[in-house]
């Protein structure tokens, strides 16, 4: 295995690209300077904090502490998904249910199958990948449902007037929202290896692992992500559509 060295000089040099992005934003009057600066600072601070925390957790290798970190990651993922819900009622509870379910199901399958061991160095990075993809899927589902219930309001009300249940009236919207949640992962799966070499595969190759082993791991991760987004999107949409109706099965304004 080769040692990958990232010097402080290298970090400083790559920071020049952030300045370039700021310059582009200024020249094109994009109004992104504040967001870009905040994002950059948060990225650096958060990653360094997480890095030192993970170093401590990996060293201790305690299952209880590992579970606590998994729960923290799930909670943060659900909270961030709530922020992308456009004010959808009960969005945090829905996000937490969907993300927790997909995370537990996938981790159980991988651990029981023996593909990964229940140790912090394997479980925590996988949990991060699972939750981040679930979070993105949930955000897309919420935004799509909010947009479509607004655009198709008259169609939904007509179906309700003709005796349809909220589920029947929302069926097409739910289907399109699930599709929207799945689409980024499907697009990534189509181009993986041809256009992009994903982070896990690239990291293993950087570290000197056999490229064939890295490919097998990446295929496993890709299959895992497709399953994750499917579970999250289905749970999120079938729980979320109810928030657009009141207890009398009427569409909320």
- Domain extent for 10: 1-60
Of the residues 20, 36, 60, which one is the last residue of a structural domain? 60
The domain tally of the chain equals 2
Residues 170 and 89 in one domain: yes
Residue 32 lies in a domain: yes
In a domain, 249, yes or no: no
Question: Is residue 91 located within the same domain as residue 149?
Answer: yes
What is the pLDDT at residue 1?
A: 47
- My answer on whether 202 and 212 are in the same domain is yes
Residues 236 and 126 in one domain: yes
Q: Do 159 and 129 reside in the same domain of the chain?
A: yes
Residue 126 located in a structural domain: yes
Q: State residue 2's pLDDT score.
A: 52
Q: What is the pLDDT of residue 3?
A: 58
- Is position 251 within any domain? no
Do 68 and 41 reside in the same domain of the chain? no
97 within domain boundaries: yes
Whether 22 and 122 share a structural domain: no
**Does one domain contain both 44 and 72?**
no
pLDDT tens for the 253 residues of the chain, in order:
455 667 778 778 888 888 999 999 888 888 888 999 999 999 889 888 988 888 888 888 888 999 999 999 999 999 998 888 877 888 899 999 999 999 999 999 889 988 888 998 889 988 998 999 899 999 999 999 999 999 999 999 999 999 899 999 999 999 999 999 999 888 888 887 766 666 667 777 777 778 788 888 888 888 888 988 999 999 999 999 998 998 888 888 6
3 lies in some domain: yes
Q: Say yes or no: 89 and 151 in one domain.
A: yes
Note whether 130 and 24 are same-domain residues. no
Q: Are residues 196 and 227 in the same domain?
A: yes
Regarding whether 75 and 200 lie in a shared domain, the answer is: yes
Q: Which residue has the tokens 């912090």?
A: 120
Whether 193 maps to a domain, the answer reads yes
């Amino acid at each position: 295995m080769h040692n990958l060295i990232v010097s402080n000089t290298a970090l400083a040099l790559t920071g020049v690209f952030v300045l370039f992005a700021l310059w582009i934003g200024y020249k094109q009057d994009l109004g992104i300077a504040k967001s870009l600066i905040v994002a950059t600072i948060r990225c650096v601070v958060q990653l360094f904090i997480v890095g030192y925390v993970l170093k401590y957790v990996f060293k201790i290798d305690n299952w209880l502490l590992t579970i606590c970190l998994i729960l923290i990651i799930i909670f943060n993922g659900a909270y961030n998904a709530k922020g992308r819900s456009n004010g959808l009622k009960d969005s945090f509870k829905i996000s937490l249910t969907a993300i927790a379910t997909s995370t537990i199901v996938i981790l159980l399958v991988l651990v029981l199958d023996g593909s990964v061991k229940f140790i912090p160095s394997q479980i925590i990075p996988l949990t991060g990948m699972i939750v981040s993809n679930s979070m993105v899927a949930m955000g897309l589902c919420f935004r799509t449902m909010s947009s479509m219930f607004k655009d198709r309001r008259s169609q939904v009300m007509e179906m309700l007037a003709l005796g349809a249940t909220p589920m029947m009236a929302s069926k097409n919207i739910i289907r399109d929202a699930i599709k929207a949640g799945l689409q980024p992962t499907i697009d990534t799966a189509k181009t993986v290896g041809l256009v992009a070499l994903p982070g896990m595969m690239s990291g293993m190759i950087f570290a000197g692992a056999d490229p064939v082993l890295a490919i097998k791991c990446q295929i496993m991760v890709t299959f895992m992500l497709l399953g994750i987004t499917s579970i999250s999107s289905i749970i999120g949409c079938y729980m979320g559509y109810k928030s657009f109706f009141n207890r009398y099965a009427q569409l909320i304004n």
